[in-house]
Amino acid sequence: MAKRAKRKTSSSSSSPHSSSKIPKLETPQNQQEEVKEEEPVVAADLVTEEAVPEEVAVPEEVVPEEVVVPKEEAKDEMVEDSVFVEESLVSDDEARRNWPYRYLPRTKKLGDARHYETFNGVEYMQAKKHYTQALVDGRVHFKLGDDGYVQASENEDSYICRVIEMFEGVDDILYFRAQWFYRAKDTIIEACSNLIDNKRIFLSEVKDDNQLDCLIQKLKIVRVPLNAEVADKREKLGAGDYYYDMNYLVPYSTYQSLPPDNEGDALESDSTISSECAGNEASPDSKKSELRMLDLYSGCGAMSTGLCLGANMADVNLVTRWAVDLSQYACASLKLNHPETEVRNESAEDFLSLLKEWAVLCQTFNVVGGGDFQENQDAEYVEEDDEADDGAAPDDEEIFEVEKIIGICYGDPKKINKRVLYLKVQWKGYGPEEDTWEPMDTLDGCKLKIKEFVVNGYKSKLLPLPGDCDVICGGPPCQGISGFNRFRNKENPLKDEKNKQLVVYMDIVEYLKPRFCIMENVVDIVKFAKGYLGRYALGRLVANNYQARVGLMVAGSYGLPQFRMRMFMWGAAPSEKLPQYPLPTHKVVNRGVSPLEFESNAVVHDEGSKVVLERELYLEDAISDLPSVKNDEARDEMPYGGMPQTEFQKFIRLKKNEMPGCLALGQKSLSHSLYDHRPLKLNEDDYHRVCQIPKKKGANFRDLKGVKVNAKNRVEWDINVDRETLPSGKPLVPDYAMSFVDGRSLKPFGRLWWDETVPTVVTRAEPHNQAILHPTQDRVLTIRENARLQGFPDFYKLLGPIKERYIQVGNAVAVPVARALGYSLAMSCKGIADAVQPTFILPRNFPSMQPSAASPSADQASPSAHQESQ
């Protein structure tokens, strides 16, 4: 990638932005190469190094204030030379102090024809001398720290930079060092930059040397607080050209609050990101107080369960207070495992409407701000109530009296085509089976009852109001990007109703304004339609002043025999520390690659890192202790019938009160039996087929009678063998298996083997096009076996029909990944997350924290090895 802008008269100019929409950090190599290919520019009034006096005072103002050149005219006017202002020469001592990487010690001489020297692993053009001011085109006065436009290619917007150094190179060329700003369209937000105010730009860490005459126009760029509305930011900008309020860093596509005193740093050192950001420093007490989380699209709650476990392991009391999901079975499972959670079985869009209605109700009844209720209002409602009681009803109409309001929702629970706010009514003299949902506007006569409900609901935080929610987590389904969907809208994925939930998720974040949010999704969200939806999600967060970053994490890297790569997007309010990504703890059998444009988002250790990872896990590690069950196993609970055989099994079997980070930790023994260890019952035909698949590694439908594999590794019928049929008369080898992936697939009726990992646990349990048969039993993996591959603790029991339980498990965020992310979240909540590094290393033996006997590699990992990669 070209690193240097060229003179404005050139039509082939380039800059850090030009060769790729996603700018990469500079490397010494490209810096060097690019400078070499440039024609030298002869600078006026050059002073040789020997001629520089030891101490040269740098005058504050040596030329009159800038001659203002109208912007449009600037490009067309005659080009004059750009020169440094001689009076602004920096003394040699001071220059060496400020920019040591530009000068060899006086005792050393630069080799013949050498222009570069390495400093801290980076090659720098060596300088003869430094200046603090320049006259660009002989008339525009630039000072160190000024911002300006830099010439770009024709038809491209000029680049925007801050001048952080001015020097004459040992090659006699005049240079400035640019620190680049990015417009939103030059960051990963790209196609969704319309979400961002066009006066807003982002300060990058990308810096490089450019010839002085690439500068074409001075700009006024104003730093504004991140935590302000666009209108306020624009007001602060005044007559300036752009404002900035965030850093943009390429690794993990990070948008981050600016460090304090950033401007000073920019001038004085080569790193503008200080280790202290305007982070939220937690008081010692905040450790104990509860942090409330909303789990959107919660499924059975794996993601929030993991996040809470991880956060609590780091002493942050994170609790899932609210969860929302459309599936009644997923909601039932979540409630069973988390009695502390208000579980709402409704759509997220209805939930958002409800939140807004709830805020109005809380205001109406004056409960916000400490529940200070006005007597006169009460009186008014009493009167209304009395009126209602006394109101004459027609003789033949039975009068029902409201006993209590017991629920609230938005939508159409009575299926009467009326989408409004409903209240659930318990009727006087009737039992719970007679409770009904009534539109709120039909309950005018019982305002006191409504008020009682709102007051109690406000006190118990039945629903969150803006600011109530510390964390929002969730994985909005985006079925519009699924490869199974033939009608995907590539042109405008957001127009596809199936992707609407992404918008709803962001609307809820925007409305509730949590301190932190984390969104999970399939990797396709950053692949499909050039990653449009991923860019949109980031754009929404940034537009709402959230710091944000994106990481692609592999579940297996956190101790599972499953690959499963997923996208996790962090958001953090302006004053918070943006959470980091926990680096892998385990090796993993690689089953996929990161999408090209998001390569710098894969959460992996740096190349060359000396950290010692635990060995990869295999199917045997996860399930070898489970009792044998048959295809028609009907029990939802059974005894284990044996001891755990591996470290994984010991950990996953822990009782709820023994599990690190569990709310019940330390409480009385909460033992459990083996739940959900039953498979999807195969039909007779499939069962017969499965019984004929040999119990050996790699076995699948290709091992059935009548199937041959040709030289191109494709299946074909063996013409020497009659096609065998099943007792039902159906063929032993179904046509769909032969034609699947043009006969090249090994998956139909595939058996897993003990020493294997699975690519991804999915929601379906039919063996027709996936390898999910137990190694030695004639059945598919059970719900529990799948749950183990997803890292669910064994005490987590699921509810619903068998297929629904498989769906809950297949949909889940792998618990160990969520747990590791929860630990990271806790570091941010406590204000101790590192503001510089986007990743961090989890504590040794996380999450068991016990020295692990079965993982000798962990014991080989010396603490210093961990240090080394930090």
Ligand X SMILES: C[S@@+](CC[C@H](N)C(=O)[O-])C[C@H]1O[C@@H](n2cnc3c(N)ncnc32)[C@H](O)[C@@H]1O
Residues with active-site annotation: 478
Site size for ligand X (CB under 6 A): 20
3-state secondary structure 384-416: HHHHHHHCCCCCCCCCCCEEEEEEEEEECCCCC
* 504 versus 772: smaller Cβ distance to ligand X: 504
- The torsion angle over the Cα atoms of residues 176, 182, 188 and 191, rounded to 10 degrees, is -130
> In this chain, which stretch among 9-17, 299-307, 397-405, 428-436 interacts with ligand X, using CB under 6 A?
299-307
| Smallest distance, ligand X to C-beta of residue 794, A | 17
Q: Which residue is nearest to ligand X (CB)?
A: 299
Which residue in the set 135, 311, 463, 813 belongs to the binding site for ligand X (CB under 6 A)?
Answer: 813
Angle between helices 348-364 and 500-512 (to 10 degrees): 20
* 413 versus 748: smaller Cβ distance to ligand X: 413
* 516 versus 749: smaller Cβ distance to ligand X: 516
- Name 339's Cβ contacts closer than 8 Å, sequence gap at least 6: none
- Let me know if 729 is exposed, middle or buried by CB neighbors in 10 A (0-12, 13-18, 19+): exposed
| Smallest distance, ligand X to C-beta of residue 123, A | 47
CA distance to 542, 699, 733, 822, per residue, from 707 (Å): 56, 13, 8, 49
| Smallest distance, ligand X to C-beta of residue 667, A | 24
- Residues numbered 436 to 475 that lie near ligand X (CB under 6 A) are 475
| Smallest distance, ligand X to C-beta of residue 544, A | 21
| Smallest distance, ligand X to C-beta of residue 672, A | 19
Which residue in the set 302, 405, 613, 825 belongs to the binding site for ligand X (CB under 6 A)?
Answer: 302
> In this chain, which stretch among 324-332, 411-419, 439-447, 712-720 interacts with ligand X, using CB under 6 A?
324-332
> In this chain, which stretch among 212-220, 297-305, 307-315, 728-736 interacts with ligand X, using CB under 6 A?
297-305
> In this chain, which stretch among 179-187, 260-268, 322-330, 614-622 interacts with ligand X, using CB under 6 A?
322-330
Q: How many residues are there in the chain?
A: 870
| Smallest distance, ligand X to C-beta of residue 334, A | 8
- Name 250's Cβ contacts closer than 8 Å, sequence gap at least 6: 22, 23, 24, 25, 204, 206, 600
341 with 320: CB under 8 angstroms?
yes
* 24 versus 764: smaller Cβ distance to ligand X: 764
Q: Is 348 in the site for ligand X (CB under 6 A)?
A: yes
Q: Is 501 in the site for ligand X (CB under 6 A)?
A: yes
| Smallest distance, ligand X to C-beta of residue 812, A | 4
* 7 versus 819: smaller Cβ distance to ligand X: 819
The one-letter code for the residue type at 453 is F
Q: Is 163 in the site for ligand X (CB under 6 A)?
A: no
Q: Is 767 in the site for ligand X (CB under 6 A)?
A: no
343 with 498: CB under 8 angstroms?
no
> In this chain, which stretch among 319-327, 618-626, 666-674, 822-830 interacts with ligand X, using CB under 6 A?
319-327
> In this chain, which stretch among 208-216, 651-659, 747-755, 806-814 interacts with ligand X, using CB under 6 A?
806-814
Provide the mask over 674-703, with x wherever binding to ligand X is found by CB under 6 A and - wherever it is not.
------------------------------
* 213 versus 325: smaller Cβ distance to ligand X: 325
Integer-rounded Cα radius of gyration of the chain:
33
- The backbone torsions φ and ψ at residue 232, rounded to the nearest 5 degrees and listed phi first, read -70, -40
661 with 312: CB under 8 angstroms?
yes
Structure tokens at 549: 């970053």
Q: Is 325 in the site for ligand X (CB under 6 A)?
A: yes
CA distance to 404, 409, 428, 448, 700, per residue, from 401 (Å): 9, 21, 5, 13, 66
| Smallest distance, ligand X to C-beta of residue 350, A | 8
The continuous run of DSSP H or E covering 566 comes out as strand 565-572
* 89 versus 334: smaller Cβ distance to ligand X: 334
The continuous run of DSSP H or E covering 207 comes out as strand 200-211
| Smallest distance, ligand X to C-beta of residue 359, A | 20
Q: Is 477 in the site for ligand X (CB under 6 A)?
A: yes
> In this chain, which stretch among 171-179, 296-304, 420-428, 453-461 interacts with ligand X, using CB under 6 A?
296-304
* 247 versus 298: smaller Cβ distance to ligand X: 298
Which residue in the set 163, 266, 300, 555 belongs to the binding site for ligand X (CB under 6 A)?
Answer: 300
| Smallest distance, ligand X to C-beta of residue 77, A | 58
Q: Is 812 in the site for ligand X (CB under 6 A)?
A: yes
* 475 versus 514: smaller Cβ distance to ligand X: 475
Q: Is 327 in the site for ligand X (CB under 6 A)?
A: yes
- DSSP state for residue 197 in the 8-state scheme: -
Q: Is 555 in the site for ligand X (CB under 6 A)?
A: no
Which residue in the set 10, 274, 347, 436 belongs to the binding site for ligand X (CB under 6 A)?
Answer: 347
Which residue in the set 167, 244, 297, 796 belongs to the binding site for ligand X (CB under 6 A)?
Answer: 297
- Name 864's Cβ contacts closer than 8 Å, sequence gap at least 6: none
- Name 17's Cβ contacts closer than 8 Å, sequence gap at least 6: 23, 152, 156, 159, 180, 182, 186
Q: Is 298 in the site for ligand X (CB under 6 A)?
A: yes
567 with 551: CB under 8 angstroms?
yes
> In this chain, which stretch among 437-445, 491-499, 811-819, 847-855 interacts with ligand X, using CB under 6 A?
811-819
Beta bridge partners of 426: 404
The one-letter code for the residue type at 177 is R
| Smallest distance, ligand X to C-beta of residue 731, A | 36
- DSSP state for residue 72 in the 8-state scheme: H
Q: Is 324 in the site for ligand X (CB under 6 A)?
A: yes
- Residues numbered 54 to 93 that lie near ligand X (CB under 6 A) are none
Which residue in the set 52, 326, 602, 709 belongs to the binding site for ligand X (CB under 6 A)?
Answer: 326
Which residue in the set 148, 299, 464, 579 belongs to the binding site for ligand X (CB under 6 A)?
Answer: 299
CA distance to 138, 155, 862, per residue, from 69 (Å): 12, 21, 62
Find, among 44, 33, 49, 41, the residue nearest to 9 by Cα. Answer: 41
Which residue in the set 303, 478, 523, 693 belongs to the binding site for ligand X (CB under 6 A)?
Answer: 303
* 272 versus 562: smaller Cβ distance to ligand X: 562
Q: How far, in Å, CA of 217 to CA of 302, rounded?
A: 54
Provide the sign of the torsion angle of the four alpha carbons 245, 249, 252, 257, taken in this order.
negative
SS3 content of the chain, % helix, strand, coil (to 5): 30, 20, 50
DSSP assignment of 293-330, as one string? EEEET-TTSHHHHHHHHHHHHTT--EEEEEEE-S-HHH
Which residue in the set 85, 90, 307, 330 belongs to the binding site for ligand X (CB under 6 A)?
Answer: 330
Q: Is 811 in the site for ligand X (CB under 6 A)?
A: yes
The continuous run of DSSP H or E covering 262 comes out as helix 262-268
Q: Is 503 in the site for ligand X (CB under 6 A)?
A: no
- Let me know if 864 is exposed, middle or buried by CB neighbors in 10 A (0-12, 13-18, 19+): exposed
| Smallest distance, ligand X to C-beta of residue 75, A | 51
* 500 versus 610: smaller Cβ distance to ligand X: 500
| Smallest distance, ligand X to C-beta of residue 330, A | 5
Beta bridge partners of 169: 127
* 477 versus 579: smaller Cβ distance to ligand X: 477
* 89 versus 809: smaller Cβ distance to ligand X: 809
Find, among 270, 68, 89, the residue nearest to 166 by Cα. Answer: 89
Structure tokens at 80: 């004059």
- DSSP state for residue 250 in the 8-state scheme: T
- DSSP state for residue 516 in the 8-state scheme: E
Binding site for ligand X (CB under 6 A): 297-303, 324-327, 330, 347-348, 475, 477, 501, 811-813
